[in-house]
Structure 1
Amino acid sequence: MSIEVDWFAFVQVFVAALIGALLVVGFYAMGLRLLVRAGRAPVVAPAEFTDAITVISEKDARRAAKAAAKAAEKSPLTDAQKQAALVGAYASFTMCALAVLAGLALIVVK
């Protein structure tokens, strides 16, 4: 019994996974960047963990939210530029979701 490896198929899967990962991470990062430029920085409330993870306090969370609001007020962008950045952010998140759905379609179809 002889086992043969189809190296070309292996390379195809590797390249597809690499391109998919780059697309998803790239579009997500660009979407977050544009979201921040639009003045809508995502501020996440701290989570409560039981053990080894140190979590920021409520005071630090309020301070971060205040700093984000202050930075949004100081933005040198006009309202039209902020709106364009927001539309670009949503388009980037949409492209990220489409890249994930395309990867799932490749798995299901083949």
Structure 2
Amino acid sequence: MNVEIDWSAFLLVFVAALVGAASIVTFYAVGLRLLVRSGRSPVVSPAEFTDAITVITEKDLRRAAKQAAKAAKKSPLSEGQKTLSLVGAYACFGLCAVAVVAGILIIVVGH
């Protein structure tokens, strides 16, 4: 039994995976940055864990939400710039979704 590896195909898959992962992470990071810039910083409620994992308390959550609202009020951006940032954020998140769906389709249908 002789096993041969097609190294050019291996390199092609490696580069495609690397570029795909980097593009998804980049678009998500830019989208999150634009979302914060538009004055809509995401504040996440604490989760309930039964183990010894430390989570923020309700008081800390209220404090974080208050600080986010205060920072949004101090924003030097005009309403048009905030809207443009929000649209850009949604576009970046959309590109992330398209990249993930395209990758799944390539795996399922492409082989």
Aligned match of 2:78: 78
Shift of 1:101: 1.3
Paired residues in the alignment total 110
Per-residue deviation, residues 7-26 of structure 1 (Å, max 9, x unmatched): 11111111111011011111
How large is the RMSD of aligned CA atoms in angstroms? 0.8
Residue 64, structure 1, aligned to residue 75, structure 2? no
* Identity percentage of aligned residues: 68
42-51 or 97-106, larger mean C-alpha shift: 97-106
Counterparts of residues 3-14 of structure 1 (less than 5 Å): 3-14=3-14
Q: Distance in 2 between matches of 1:31 and 1:45?
A: 21
Following TM superposition, the consecutive aligned residue runs of length 4 or more in structure 1 with deviations greater than 2 angstroms are none
Q: Which runs of 5+ in 1 are unaligned?
A: none
Residue 25, structure 1, aligned to residue 25, structure 2? yes
Shift of 1:62: 0.4
Aligned match of 1:36: 36
Q: Which TM-score applies when normalising by structure 2?
A: 0.96
Q: Give the secondary structure class of the aligned counterpart of 2:44.
A: coil
Per-residue deviation, residues 70-98 of structure 1 (Å, max 9, x unmatched): 00000010000000000000100011111
Q: Distance in 2 between matches of 1:52 and 1:28?
A: 30
Q: Distance in 1 between matches of 2:96 and 2:57?
A: 32
Q: Which runs of 5+ in 2 are unaligned?
A: none
Shift of 1:52: 2.1
